[in-house]
Chains A and B, each alone.
Chain A
Amino acid sequence: MASRRWASPLWVAALSLVPLALVGWAWSLALSRSLPRADFVFNNGTEVSSLDPAAANGIPEGRVIRALYEGLYTREPIGGNAVPALAVSTELSADRLTYIFKLRPGVVWSNGDPLTAADFEWNFRRLLDPETASPFAGELWCVRGARELNTGRDAAGTPVEPGSVALGVKATDDATLVIELVAPTSHFLELLAAYQLSPVHRASLEAARQRSPQGWTSEWTRPGALVSNGPYVLAERRLNDRIRLVKNERYWDADRVAMRTIDALAIEDATTAFNLYFAGEVDWLDGNVPASLIDRLLTRDDFDPEPYFGLYFYRVNTTKPPLDDPRVRRALYATINRVQICDRLLKAGQKPAYTLVPWGHMGSYASPPAKKEDLDGARQALADAGFGPEGKPIGTLRILYNSSEQNRSIAELVANDWSEYLDLDVELENQEWKSYVDRQSNLQYDVSRSSWICDYLDVLNFFAVFTSDSDNNRTGWTNADYDKLIAEARITVDPAARNSLLRRAETILLDELPILPIYSYVSQNLVDPRVGGFGVNPLNEQNPKYWYWMDEPELARSRRALNKREKKVSSHGPKEGLYSPKAQAERKAGGRTRK
């Protein structure tokens, strides 16, 4: 039989060698990955979608990109205001349409190439190029010619030839960048501080493109190939595992950078991340802490929730009867027991929200007084609309939310309020993320869980969501007066006048209620008490440049400044601290003078 020869021991050996070789290869690769611990390790929560600032759009991306690159402006850790970074001076013309930036002299890329104003001009063009497909491009339409370059159409919607467009961004010499705007834009410097506007190295991108004109290559973002200009360079990137950053010695302010190496982990599981923090292998966790632990964490000095400019709210489909009646929406708004949601369920210091602007104020802006829970008023509003015991039946109301335990618990509480106080029939409907987003975009819902996190420290960012031409509106709600007020506020520079326009707009929105605000977010950082230079700001933006480790005396001082009731947890950081060269020198000098 032929099969006997084929099934000889030799063949058996050969065949079993295949899986063995495979396993051997796998192990040899798996075990070649050991890295020494970094000076500072934080959990970034997920894998970043890209290291290209123009392609990225998210909070985890921002943390890594801020370490790698630096733009004209950046954010200071305390307060989060936009402050100059590579711009040493900024001049604004009297008509508030032209900005002239002088660049910091002597700034170089991590490969030694000088960074000039021409780099910035090229980067602005790249961001607006349709080929780049940057999600941030829309924010820059306030720059002259930007909308035309980005969409091929002007503001009126007539097609324009991209070649004929003059972009209002010009490098007049190596150190001067001039930007012209379409209209006065009071939040323009805020925009410049966005990480998406960090410059990338032109020569390496063009070289990569030349090597592979049609390819999908992003090889310029690879460790070793990525040329950047920030406090850190990319040393290692392992998908879904970690990004290793190493201090950039060519950075202009390298003397002020303390941590020599930083790891950004991509752990999605909250319990795993917490275990790693607990074991001292992670020094900072972002918001994703296990909800069951909040009570106990609140007593510790490494957990201190701060107000965060984000709003958790329900969108209402205003195109669908009976929700097209503002009185029905008013009834829904007035019966949600927000205090119960915040105090019994969330517990980390989130506050009930009754306005579009979270926390009811932002900078110099304060929301108009809002109506709060009002059960009788709610029943009356519903009866006025012709529904209720004596009126028409309202039918079943569905709350759509993306699958998560917390969203479900909140929806259950809200549904309970509505059925108890308004006698409504409420059903919950959960969907995985993409289906949920799709349903919301296509207005296939009654009431839908939503949130909005501020992109930059300007209140207009919230208002712009609900104009009728906004892609993010997704409620079907349109109001010409509201649109007009927002359009006017966009070009109004005087803060008081602008705030009063916005307050009128918010009054309209809270009267019509296309959204039902529920609570204002808090940041939930779990961070080793020894970490210094940590950002405390309403965007929870962190800049790795400022992080350092305190030594014992400084840690003791910083703990004294804290509330005494809080339990002091032991720190995993180095006892002797880790300071930047400059801070070290200053400390020495300071020590001498004190003696």
Chain B
Amino acid sequence: MKRFVLRRALGLVLTVWIVVTTAFLMMRVVPGGPFSAERRLPAAVLANVEARYHLDWPIWRQYLQYLGPFNLDSQGLLGDRERPFGGVLAGDLGPSFRYRDYTVNQILGESLPLSLALGSLALAWAVAFGTTFGILAAARRGTKLDLSLRLVAALGIALPSFVIAGLLVLVFSLALGWSPVAGSSTFAHFILPSLALGAPVAAYVARLVRTGLIESLSQDYVRTAVAKGLPYSTVILRHAARGGLLPAVSYLGPAAAGVLTGSLVIERIFAIPGTGSHFVASALSRDYTLALGVTIVYSVLIYSLNALVDFAYTRLDPRIALEEL
């Protein structure tokens, strides 16, 4: 366990460093800058703005300044006595270029809770609906119920979440008036977006649970349990489910990542000011610092979630030891 945690921590640092460096360089290679606009700023004014954000520095110095932990502002290393530290390693993601009144830390502090709330609810739906339908389908394998559930799952996987979102709004908001159209101020605002976001995940989970369960239902220990005369429901929920859920659990890591990064379309459709909407918008507006900040947060989140899922895996299947991961 100790080695597992250490190795993962080391891996996290290395991964994030590679991600930051690559993203930093990629942002600078792309044509156009944060201040290129259709109405061009006069050259003298543009120089003033760029100097303010240190865009006039050589790229290696900008990179070191961004990475931190030392503030290279003004006169060289530690020249600024008021703020000797700065950059990512000092926990400062810098000012946003697009939203002039905000720092990246403030933007993430405002938007991340909304994305997490949306994502967690979407995952909750996905797990609840996915396992229920998966178990039902496996238990009634080959019946009409199984067939229709599989059809729904296939639809859920095939339809992009924005199509599902559009349909949900059309039916539940505009036609029936049961749900708000868009926004984020109450719990009710989160129901439709999280359903749309969780639908593809739920469909996958249902498929995985069904397949896993059908496989473990054919195992000897399950046959023994049935032969002992246990009720069918007990056999499924107690004996078969434990092994049958494994594929679904291992999918939850990537699923969580998908829900977090996939939320950008849903956030746009439902006007939820979460981090997902910054994911693409910041790159398009060449908001270097915000794009990097969002990338860092997402890589940390996704990496940790995967580590967590790996850990959960060992709890469900004793054959897998942490040392192997």
**Chain A residues whose CB sits within 8 angstroms of the CB of B269 once the complex forms:** 269, 271-272
- Distance of A443 from chain B, by nearest CB (Å): 13
Contact between chains at A435 and B30 (CB < 8 Å): yes
Q: Are B1 and A3 in contact (CB under 8 A)?
A: yes
A520 at the B interface (CB under 8 A):
no
- CB under 8 Å from chain B, chain A span 42-59: 47, 49-52, 55, 57
B94: chain A residues at CB < 8 Å are: 216
Contacts of A513 in B (CB 8 A): none
Are B181 and A434 in contact, with the CB atoms below 8 A?
no
Per the bound structure, the CA–CA distance linking A95 and B271 in Å amounts to 55
Given contacts A31-B187, A275-B173, contact A2 B1 (CB under 8 A): yes
Is the pair A272, B74 in contact by a Cβ cutoff of 8 Å?
no
The stretch among B108-116, B212-220, B223-231, B234-242 that forms the contact with chain A is B108-116
| CB contact between A133 and one of B48, B107, B115, B278 (< 8 Å): that residue | B48
Enumerate A235-276 residues with CB–CB distance to B below 8 Å: 238-241, 265-269, 271-272, 275-276
Interface residue? A430 (CB, 8 A): no
A272 partner, pick from B36, B40, B103, B182, beta carbons under 8 A = B182
Known: A267-B271, A471-B42. A22 touches B285 (CB 8 A): no
The chain B residue with its CB closest to the CB of A43 is: B271
Tell me the nearest residue of chain B to A433, going by C-beta.
Answer: B284
Which of B10-18, B58-66, B199-207, B308-316 binds A? B308-316
Whether B101 and A52, one on each chain, are in contact in the complex, defined by CB atoms closer than 8 angstroms, is yes
B7 interfacial by beta-carbon distance below 8 Å: no
Q: Is B44 an interface residue (CB 8 A)?
A: yes
Residues of A within 8 A of B110 (CB): 238-239
Q: Is A290's beta carbon under 8 Å from chain B? A: no
Query: A221-B101, A239-B99 in contact; A265/B271 too (CB < 8 A)?
Result: yes
Name the residue in A6, A214, A238, A240 with the highest tally of chain B Cβ atoms < 10 Å from its Cβ.
A240
Q: What 0/1 readout, one digit per residue, does chain A (277-317) give for beta carbons within 8 Å of chain B?
A: 01101000000000000000000000000000000000000
Cβ-closest chain A residue relative to B44: A151
A138 to B271, CA, bound (A): 36
What's the nearest-Cβ distance from chain A to residue B76, in Å?
15
Contact at B113–A26, with CB atoms within 8 Å? Answer: yes
Stretch at the interface among A11-19, A373-381, A523-531: A11-19
Closest chain-B Cβ to A30's Cβ sits at a distance in Å of: 4
Picked from B36, B73, B284, B315, the residue with its CB within 8 Å of the CB of A438 is B36
User: In the complex, how many angstroms separate the beta carbon of B322 from the nearest chain A beta carbon?
Assistant: 5
Question: How many A residues face the partner with a CB closer than 8 A?
Answer: 75
B174 within 8 A of A: yes
Q: Of B42, B190, B271, B311, which contacts A30 at CB under 8 A?
A: B190
Cβ contacts under 8 Å, A335 to chain B: none
CA distance A281 to B181 in the complex (A): 9
Q: A272–B270 contact, CB under 8 A? A: yes
Q: Is the CB of B39 within 8 A of A275?
A: no
Report yes or no: B36 in contact with A6, Cβ–Cβ below 8 A. Answer: no
Q: Does B52 contact A (CB under 8 A)?
A: yes
Decide yes or no whether B273 CB sits under 8 A from chain A: yes
Q: A50-B101, A130-B44, A151-B44 are in contact. Are A27 and B117 (CB under 8 A)?
A: yes
Among residues 479 to 538 in chain A, which have CB atoms less than 8 Å away from a CB atom of chain B?
Answer: none
Chain A residue contacts of B166, Cβ below 8 A: 271
Closest beta carbon of chain A to B183's beta carbon, Å:
7
Question: Whole-angstrom distance from the CB of B170 to the nearest CB of chain A?
Answer: 9
Picked from B38, B52, B80, B169, the residue with its CB within 8 Å of the CB of A131 is B52
By a CB distance below 8 angstroms, the chain B residues around A388 are none
Quick one: which of B276-324 are within 8 Å of A by CB? 277-278, 284-286, 305, 308, 311-312, 314-315, 321-323
Residues of A within 8 A of B258 (CB): none
Q: Are B268 and A438 in contact (CB under 8 A)?
A: no
Instruction: Assess the A31–B174 pair: CB atoms within 8 A.
Output: no
Closest to A215 in B: B83
A55 touching B39 by the CB < 8 A rule?
no
Do the beta carbons of A240 and B111 come within 8 Å of each other?
A: yes
Q: A34-B185, A472-B40 are in contact. Are A435 and B1 (CB under 8 A)?
A: no
The CA of A305 and the CA of B13, in the complex, are separated in Å by 56
| A344 within 8 A of partner (CB) | no
CB-CB nearest in chain A for B315 = A12
Say if the beta carbon of A184 comes within 8 Å of chain B: no
Inter-chain contact A29/B271, CB cutoff 8 Å? no
On whether A47 and B99 interact (CB within 8 A), knowing A25-B113, A434-B284, A472-B39, the answer reads: yes
Q: Which of B83, B95, B114, B311 contacts A15 (CB 8 A)?
A: B311
A29 CA to B180 CA, complexed, in Å = 20
| B32, B117, B174: the one within 8 Å of A437 (CB) | B32
Judging by beta carbons under 8 Å apart, are A281 and B183 in contact?
A: yes
* Given A27-B117, A30-B184; A216-B95 close (CB under 8 Å): yes
B144 contacts A by Cβ under 8 Å: no
A33 contacts which chain B residues (CB < 8 A)? 184-185
Nearest chain-B residue to A129 (Cβ)? B48
Known: A22-B116, A214-B82. A272 touches B181 (CB 8 A): yes
Q: For the complex, is B45 an interface residue (Cβ under 8 Å from A)?
A: yes
Please give, as numbers and ranges, the residues of chain A lying within 8 Å of B314 by CB-CB distance.
7
The residues of A that contact B74 with a CB separation of less than 8 Å are 214
- Closest chain A residue, CB of each to CB of B50: A133
Question: Once the chains are docked, how many angstroms separate the CA of A241 from the CA of B185?
Answer: 10
Cross-chain pairs A/B with CB under 8 angstroms, 5 sampled: A7-B322, A33-B185, A241-B273, A279-B173, A438-B32
Q: A6-B2, A26-B120, A131-B48 are in contact. List 11 more A-B contacts (CB 8 A).
A: A3-B322, A7-B322, A29-B114, A133-B52, A135-B39, A214-B74, A239-B110, A279-B174, A279-B180, A434-B31, A434-B286
The list of the 5 closest CB pairs from A to B, nearest first, reads A6-B1, A434-B32, A26-B116, A240-B273, A216-B95
